[in-house]
Structure 1
């Protein structure tokens, strides 16, 4: 083919055409790979989805799924007599907590326990800047600090900040060089004896010890029962969110139970709204779904989520940048990972799970989640199954959300609060929020569905399964995964399995 000179000179028509084609293709590929949420994500389980959309749930199944848990013979432990504080403190304990809200929550409980073991004064824990969510919220921004101190006043001494003589002990001070007052070598799940041997001498020498890192740094086993009870007291009684989170949370719960219009129509007078709603006898029920499907989770799982080559490229690049490509599961195929239950469920898949369990299209579903990877394209199938799905944005006005906008920890706190007060809670895959709420709701004997990840992975691999067989398998596989109390085993977390350490038989 002969090239024709362009009338204006310079590039030929053919050359220009190829350049434009290349630029267009490159731009599309870059946009698709960098922003897979711009792609149209096709349903991966179309046959099941069509049947699920047309489902009719028997009244008996609806009644059973919504029925609250019967008493399981356990109740929260309540101490008969508070312990007396020693006359003299050994010094000040500082802890620096990384991770997200729920990992920090567990660290706070452990910090109180360590302060008790050492007979030290606890400085309100310092929350590190989260590298993923970029949230700088402090303890005082998230938790009711006065309530925290008051509940624990008979157990340990707590101060909001260090006295002037120790004001040099800051995060910046420890970042600059090795310091004798910093404890850097605390092993994961350290014993009480380790702290007495390694931290107490530092306290006695300098009057202060800063422990960093401090994540999962206290054992769940072989501790005195009063220390275990104290951890429970912190988690279930002392840690409450700041008033504006609780107030907004109550408003969202009210709007889920008594739907009366959009957030804009309701305005911001949620105190009056919540108070008036309490007298109503027509409270509706709702489910909270923690849809743990953000980019971080999707990349770390090394699974295929049906977004095509662009999504695979984007996740592989993200994996390389964040973890230098080191992802444990990457050595397995997608089929192997799914059959072992190692793949987080997509919004479509968790919607099919809920539909199979018996939730119909009149179910009020609250979506507790950070930004969903894939955006609305991924959520659309879930919304098709549950058209009454709500979230923070749909239930609260921009004015009401102004105090938490852009604050990942406060957004997570609001979701935690609503999740704790829901009729049913379910998380799309295990994680810190799942573990924390499973434990908290077990403590209160509330219904919580724990997805059988291996079963669901195997069912979704079967592309010819009929809806009736899928539904039967899901119902059978989740009969004993709806809040039935499980006693903690050695090495398991006291915060996920509160019995028997935090509870006693009724």
Structure 2
């Protein structure tokens, strides 16, 4: 986009068919019409000149259209939302493997209830579409920044897949702020899962470089002329710092040494940046960070196996062992399981991440605990999901195994996971690669008609923003503070529970919500209005 000489309102050019027919009609390859003898015939050189000029103009328009579309990260919707099958067929023509499968909506059954029909229906996108039009100043400065060869930023990122994604996004933005080239981020081995995957194992590296080539120069490694002492790693950045703070703190060091190594970037960069930098965040997250082709292929295959049988719900069920340890909550599986978690927490007191001085019952009532499988089942049923609904469970190995899932399976027998959907050997290369397995969950969840997270976290926020970006697909965030007392009260009839739950969540089912309504909201979870606008 920085290379474009002029600014266009959209990246899609709609050509007038009559104009094209006119150009073809005056070409030397068209059949001449019969003319009256009295009418003067134009000379042959003039016809040749006009035809040549017309063909040149046509080629120029086509080249300009192709260049604008291929170099723009803006997603353009030229089809009505009511034609998902046509959209799916065109997606296959364009070979865009990163697009989710289209939502299917309510099953074609006239006898389904109003609650079920409402559950499967998609929210109104209100005309919002992705729009990443950078300012003229941003594009002017890109010419220099994208060619930087003296200063380099190295980012060491940690955590699970979505935590890594967030830090990679901010690393790109920090490199842009410092006008430095970005070395491909280093993925730190996770101490919980032991995943040793590198960037190129999870993400499409060449696509990452190409997509950002007009924003930041991305290189595979530091030049051999740059010697890196151990003490050069910076890991003491405060939370939510501004671009001004980053320049004041690191610019001199970067100019002196020629490189800067940053570690522990999670939530270090402010959520409130200039519109251009917010757009850059969206460009990295929703366009540049495409999964590696093999990972994307496996994820697409599993997603199609769910999608081909009709609409489905994706539930991110956060009931892994480390989640119970970190949240300080009871598992609901009995004293024996709670004792295991308590012992683990005593052995690793730094794992408990929130409100150390609050009791377990108070923690639960405050909405700080993940919903159990039983609570998710009752919640989804209260919203109108039928018992034959197909449910895809995203997440790691549940603590308690099959027992932890039994309540959900009893209510919704058509439960699937990536393990049950995979064919022989498909997941075998990724047995010890938790980030790649999480990427497969991400792909399948993005294509679901409805997504429900059982607990907050990076995956839930990533799905919220990405589903908004691809068309405001239904995303239901449980209001746990309002629901937990109802779910614990066994005397509340199912009809009354359903009425209250639907009322509480009436305005939180994926409709466009402005990031600017609250301070410090993440643009990757709320891409309106910086990254999406009404067109």
Report TM bin, short chain: 0.7 to 0.9
> For 1:229 and 1:132, how far apart are their aligned partners in 2?
33
The answer to whether structure 1 residue 481 and structure 2 residue 531 are counterparts is no
TM-score after normalising by structure 1: 0.79
Match of 1:216, SS?
coil
> For 2:444 and 2:427, how far apart are their aligned partners in 1?
15
Selected match of 2:315 from 269, 277, 289: 289
The answer to whether structure 1 residue 63 and structure 2 residue 106 are counterparts is no
Match of 1:300, SS?
helix
Name the CA shift for 1:216/1:327 in 2 (closer, same or farther; >3 Å): closer
**1:42-80: per-residue Cα shift (whole Å, max 9, x none)?**
xxxxxxxxxxxxxxx952222111112222232211327
Match of 1:198, SS?
helix
Match of 1:336, SS?
helix
> For 2:448 and 2:200, how far apart are their aligned partners in 1?
26
Look up the match of 1:85. 143
Look up the match of 1:119. 179
Q: Report the Cα offset of residue 330 of structure 1.
A: 5.2
Look up the match of 1:229. 279
**1:109-132: per-residue Cα shift (whole Å, max 9, x none)?**
111111111110100011111111
Tell whether the 8 Å contact from 1:183 to 1:199 is kept in structure 2 after alignment.
no
Look up the match of 1:491. 520
Look up the match of 1:153. 213
Selected match of 2:393 from 353, 367, 391: 367
> For 1:426 and 1:140, how far apart are their aligned partners in 2?
30
Selected match of 1:400 from 426, 442, 465: 426
Name the CA shift for 1:368/1:464 in 2 (closer, same or farther; >3 Å): same
Look up the match of 1:434. 460
Written as runs of structure 1 = structure 2, the 5 A alignment for 1:377-416 is: 377-416=403-442
Written as runs of structure 1 = structure 2, the 5 A alignment for 1:84-483 is: 84-86=142-144, 88-166=148-226, 168-169=227-228, 174=230, 179=231, 181-221=232-272, 223-259=273-309, 284-323=310-349, 328-329=354-355, 331-444=357-470, 445-483=472-510
Could you list the runs of 4 or more consecutive aligned residues of structure 1 that deviate by over 6 angstroms after TM superposition? none
Mind listing any 5+ residue stretches in structure 1 that lack a counterpart?
Answer: 1-56, 260-283
Look up the match of 1:34. none
Q: Report the Cα offset of residue 326 of structure 1.
A: 5.3
Higher relative contact order (CA 8 A, sep 6+): 1
Q: Report the Cα offset of residue 328 of structure 1.
A: 4.1
Match of 1:403, SS?
helix
**1:453-479: per-residue Cα shift (whole Å, max 9, x none)?**
112211122132222222221111111
Tell whether the 8 Å contact from 1:89 to 1:119 is kept in structure 2 after alignment.
no
How many residues matched? 416
